[in-house]
Amino acid sequence: MRSFKNLIFVVATLATGAVLLTSCGKEKPDKPSTTTNENQFVSLESPYLICAGRNPGGVGFDFEYKGEKGGANNLDSLTVSDFMYDLKIRTIKAEKPDGSMGGAPYIQLSATAQAVNYSEVDTTCKGITSFQNLNKSNIKEYTLKSDDPSFDISSVPVGGTGSPLMQELMREYKKLVIGQKWREAANNNIADDEPIWIIATNEGRIVKFIVTDFPANPAPTPSGYIAIMWDFVE
């Protein structure tokens, strides 16, 4: 049950210390910080705002920052000027076949980062418990991939609304290693089916990454937020 998944996420978040989006643009805008300080990196915490209307640039993850564990920043409101994302997640609005608008979130790697759906390598390794238990001693051999460099949202045909056509946009997303492949498991009522991703950062560090809930609950608003967990594989 989804309520069970939400309970697991809350418990896991407390233990570690640590939409659909068609209407999120109508909600009251958030007020992200505009402070930039080259000497102080401040990471956002899950859940992350990826609403097309309230955070159009999306959220970037710089997993290792100056040799230390990094985190996430809103790409339109960075806390440091030398932030370099390993991956970003953002939402754009697209036109559905019936002419209505819908949110289309996606995850894109940086040009030098790579990733793999580790749950396809080890089909028993899914969900939060497996994510927490995954480490260097039990991880299986895997092959990393890069996003197709030809990925280009601006090349997607637009409809009468002036926005990209949803069906064509989904085809473009298939060029991405992660893209939207996390979305179904994060939004269903099945516990512990969320895929675990292995990511090699720009610096070569190995990270485990999982999208646990979308739209995230609990969150500041009913829509527009995504729940994510990540850590280094050690």
Pairing label, strands 59-65, 87-95: antiparallel
Contact between 177 and 114 (Cβ < 8 Å): yes
Query: Residue 31 has what pLDDT?
Result: 41
- Distance CA(122)–CA(106), nearest Å, equals 24
Structure tokens that stand for 128 in this block = 């939060």
Express each pLDDT in 74-90 by its tens digit: 999 999 999 999 999 99
**Which bin fits 63, alpha (ψ -120 to 50), beta or left (φ > 0)?**
alpha
Count CB atoms within 10 A of the CB of residue 173. Answer: 20
Contact between 20 and 100 (Cβ < 8 Å): no
> What phi and psi values does residue 158 have, to the nearest 5 degrees?
-105, 160
For the chain, which residues make up each domain, given as ranges? 2-26+44-232
Q: How would you write the pLDDT of the chain (234 residues) with one tens digit per residue?
A: 344 444 443 334 433 333 333 346 544 444 433 344 456 999 999 999 999 999 999 999 999 999 999 999 999 999 999 999 999 999 999 999 999 999 999 999 999 999 999 999 999 999 999 999 999 999 999 999 999 999 999 999 999 999 999 999 999 999 999 999 999 999 999 999 999 999 999 999 999 999 999 999 999 999 999 999 999 999
The alpha helices in 44-149, defined as continuous H runs, are 118-121, 127-133
Query: Residue 28 has what pLDDT?
Result: 44
Q: What is the 3-state secondary structure (H, E, C) of 136-202?
A: CCCCCCCCCECCCCCCCHHHCCECCCCCEEHHHHHHHHCCCCCECCCHHHHCCCCCCCCEEEEEECC
Q: Is 130 helix (H, G, I), strand (E, B) or coil?
A: helix
- Length of the chain in residues, anyone? 234
Query: Residue 217 has what pLDDT?
Result: 96
Integer angstrom CA distances of residue 67 from 4, 201, 212:
37, 12, 27
- Of 94, 47, 101, nearest in space to 74 by CA: 47
Query: Residue 39 has what pLDDT?
Result: 66
